[in-house]
Amino acid sequence: MTDLTLFHLPGACSRVTLTALEHVGVAYKDHVVNLMKGEQHSPGYLAVNPRGKIPALLVDGELLAENAAILSYLHRRWPEAGVLPRATDPLEEAQILADLFWLASFWHPTVRAMRMPVRWTTGDPAPIKERGRQLLAGPIAAMDQRFAGQEWWFGDDWSICDTYFYWVCTAALEGGFDFGEMPGILAHRARVEAQPAFRRAIVREQSAMTMSTADGA
């Protein structure tokens, strides 16, 4: 049996990691890192993950950082769970990996410009937010088209890319992006919210937050 501990923050992109763990159905411990209190820079957390970021997964005490790497690991370790589609050849496996890279390296830093523009400037956040909106407009419209024709990221079946993309859109929404005219994306959001592992992840986040607040009291 593998001993797993996830370091996360409710609402952060670690929500995607939690969903993957819930989907796999394996037992794991979790620990909230309160970014608002700067806990990611505390000596205690830096001893876990020297990069001071979440999510971080301890696998039998060994660190695995970066969300997409954790998702890929969970898929390879428990392939029957269907965190990602089953690839028919190595190139298809790489194409699926490319989608994870795209989510982590394009979508995530770009929605950061909308939701947390101060992360990209020492000055006025407004032009960063506006640039983020510009960068997202085309790709979001393309995803809206995709979800007009298919239910999930890869077609007929849910995968963790759906939850990751949902999280990206949530961040864009919180940053003020308007999805009003995007029925494909809105329908996709409803499907992701109804997915059982996602619902369990939200419950787990809520209880983690309650315990974390109790700890701090």
Partner 1 sequence: MAHDLKLFHAFTACTRVTLTALEQAGVPYDDHLLDMARGEHRCAEYLAINPHGKVPALLVDGRLLTENGAILRWLNAEYPSAGLFPEPGSELETARQLSDLLWVSSGWHPYVRAVKVPFMWTTGDHAPVRERGSELVAGVLRQLEQRLDGQDWWYGSQWSIIDTYLWWACINAEIGGFDLAAFAGITGWRARNEAHPALVRALRREAAAQTALEQKQT
Least distance in Å: CB of 107 to partner 1? Answer: 10
d(CA 151, CA 154): 8
Which C-beta is closer to partner 1: that of 87 or that of 187?
Answer: 87
Per-residue interface string for the shown chain with partner 1, residues 91-110, x marking contact by CB under 8 A = x-xxx-xx-xxx-xx--xx-
Verify binding: residue 121, partner 1, rule CB under 8 A: yes
Two tokens at 24? 């796999």
CB proximity list for 86: less than 8 A, separation 6 or greater = 79
CB proximity list for 87: less than 8 A, separation 6 or greater = 93, 95, 96
Two tokens at 109? 């830093």
Which C-beta is closer to partner 1: that of 93 or that of 151?
Answer: 93
- Stretch of 127-135, 171-179, 192-200, 205-213 contacting partner 1, by CB under 8 A: 127-135
Least distance in Å: CB of 65 to partner 1? Answer: 5
* Contact call for residues 153 and 175 (beta carbons, < 8 A): no
Verify binding: residue 90, partner 1, rule CB under 8 A: yes
- Stretch of 33-41, 68-76, 183-191, 209-217 contacting partner 1, by CB under 8 A: 68-76
Report the site for partner 1 in 43-62 (rule: CB under 8 A).
50-51, 59, 62
Alpha-carbon 122 to chain mean position: 26
- Stretch of 28-36, 128-136, 164-172, 200-208 contacting partner 1, by CB under 8 A: 128-136
Beta-sheet strands, E only, within 52-178: 56-59, 62-65
Q: Is 206 exposed, middle or buried, given 0-12, 13-18 or 19+ CB atoms closer than 10 A?
A: exposed
d(CA 172, CA 110): 9
Per-residue interface string for the shown chain with partner 1, residues 150-189, x marking contact by CB under 8 A = ----------------------------------------
Walk across the sheet containing 4-8 and list its strands.
Answer: 29-32, 4-8, 56-59, 62-65
State the residues that interact with partner 1 by CB under 8 A. Answer: 50-51, 59, 62, 64-70, 72-73, 76-77, 90-91, 93-95, 97-98, 100-102, 104-105, 108-109, 113, 119-124, 126-128, 130-131, 134, 142
